[in-house]
Amino acid sequence: MSNSVLAGSLKFLSLGDVMQLLGSNASTGVLRIIGKYSQESGLIYFIKGNPVNASAGSLAGIDAVNLLFGWVDGEFEFSEENVTSENIIKKSRMEIILDGLSMLDDGHIEKLGAVSFEKDSSELPVIRGPLVDYTYVLDEEEVYKGSTIVKEGKHGTWFWVVMGGMAEIIKETPEGPLRMLRIGEGAFIGSIASLLFESGVRGATAVAIDNVQLGVLDSQRLANEFSSMSDQFKNFVVSLDRRLKEVTDRAVDIKLQKVMLEKFIKGKKRLIKQGDSDERIFTIAEGESYIVRHTKSGYVPLANLYKGDFFGRVPFLDIGHEPFSASVFGSENLKVSKMDTDSLQQEYKQLSPTFKNIIEHLATCVSVTTMLACDYKKKTSKKKPGKS
């Protein structure tokens, strides 16, 4: 018989914290780790607070435990039960924790989350999503290595989820193609515009890096879910999609050294200061607002926002912008209305897993592309000292 006595989120308690807690209580039983971005769960067996064995995929023992330190986003559950496993792990509990955290910090353990970096991608960020929700998948397609999945500037309304393999996202520029990032399993290819029954224009090119298995999403079902949303939430989703296009364009402009900071903040009033803990979120009724991050290399313009767009703190998403990581400036004629944060969050909780994953994917892409824009700024500042 098993008895679940402890459960929670790895974002709240890390694996190291959980192991210390079990050790201090001299617990005997099995710790199950369920990674948000892993198809399989991991198991660590404890006897009197000490790990004696573990399994994760094809790995066992200390190798499995080390791997599980990289599962920073997911859930854990500990069940008190008899453990008959052989004592394979010979290290002490604290030695395991310290070694695992050190290897994670040094990059010797892959951090399994929405974003990672892979050596074979020339340090391009790799974006993945949570486990695929197959209830929205109508069909499957295979795209062979080197083939173009979508082409920037072409029209298309298909929406896909990556079920296997990896694709590279490329922006066309006057100086040639700019490789920006890669997407893997659980990531999405498509635009919210397709749910508005618009003839969407692809904002970037996606090329298969190896054979890519795509799940064709039920666009009609997604469109029906979208149409059932409140006007407030619809506008929020569309605005998030537009923000990704904005920050992508700004990243390209910074890379090509075509962006003008003065255009963003000269004569503009600062509404939210970077680092503020303002909990509010607003919709633009008139005028424009401008998102700008301050870095050691200077100010980095990120996005222009217009009528219908939102700005402020989204309680259920981290987009790497305001208020903690960017400032918001407003035009003289800016008029805004406050959004109902509680109803926004409640509506998000009621979405299907697929639609939640799409929104989370957009937020992750905004955050990662912002990171790229800041990196481009840092590199161009080194070329031209003293300019910001």
Examine the domain organization and report whether 126 and 56 are in the same domain. no
The pair of three-digit structure tokens given for residue 3, joined into one six-digit string: 């008895």
Residue 1 pLDDT class (50, 70, 90 cuts): very low
Question: pLDDT tens digits for 291-350?
Answer: 999 988 888 999 999 999 999 999 888 898 999 999 999 999 999 999 999 999 999 999
| Boundary-marking domain end, from 105, 132, 164 | 105
* Backbone torsion region of residue 297, taken as left when φ is above 0, otherwise alpha when ψ lies between -120 and 50, otherwise beta: alpha
Examine the domain organization and report whether 239 and 184 are in the same domain. no
Q: Which residues neighbour 93 within 8 Å (Cβ) at sequence distance 6 or greater?
A: 19, 20, 23, 49, 50, 51
DSSP string, 334-358: -EEEE--HHHHHHHHHTS-HHHHHH
Residue 198 pLDDT class (50, 70, 90 cuts): low
Q: Which residues neighbour 140 within 8 Å (Cβ) at sequence distance 6 or greater?
A: 163, 213, 214, 215, 216
pLDDT confidence of residue 257 = 87
Examine the domain organization and report whether 140 and 156 are in the same domain. yes
Residue 384 pLDDT class (50, 70, 90 cuts): low
pLDDT confidence of residue 388 = 43
Examine the domain organization and report whether 138 and 212 are in the same domain. yes
Examine the domain organization and report whether 56 and 131 are in the same domain. no
Examine the domain organization and report whether 141 and 71 are in the same domain. no
Question: Residue 291 sits in which domain range?
Answer: 231-388
Q: Which residues neighbour 145 within 8 Å (Cβ) at sequence distance 6 or greater?
A: 208, 209, 210, 211
Q: Is the pLDDT of residue 64 over 90?
A: yes
pLDDT (mean) for 37-44: 88
Examine the domain organization and report whether 237 and 222 are in the same domain. no
pLDDT (mean) for 13-31: 88
| Boundary-marking domain end, from 51, 70, 105 | 105
* Alpha-carbon gap, residue 369 to 374, rounded angstroms: 9
Domain count across the chain? 3
Examine the domain organization and report whether 167 and 316 are in the same domain. no
**Could you tell me what percent of the chain has a pLDDT over 90?**
60
| Report for 6-20, 86-100, 210-224: range of highest mean pLDDT | 210-224
Examine the domain organization and report whether 249 and 331 are in the same domain. yes
Examine the domain organization and report whether 8 and 132 are in the same domain. no
* Alpha-carbon gap, residue 32 to 76, rounded angstroms: 6
Residue 273 pLDDT class (50, 70, 90 cuts): very high
**Averaged pLDDT of the chain:** 89
Domain CATH for 152: 2.60.120.10
Examine the domain organization and report whether 274 and 355 are in the same domain. yes
The helix (H) or strand (E) run that includes residue 111 is: none
CA distances from 314 to 322, 341, 343, 353 (A): 9, 8, 12, 19
Q: Which residue has the higher pLDDT, 94 or 222?
A: 222
Question: pLDDT tens digits for 101-160?
Answer: 888 877 788 887 777 665 444 568 889 888 888 999 999 999 999 999 999 988 888 899
| Boundary-marking domain end, from 196, 211, 228 | 228
Question: CB of 343 within 8 A of CB of 230?
Answer: yes
Examine the domain organization and report whether 211 and 190 are in the same domain. yes
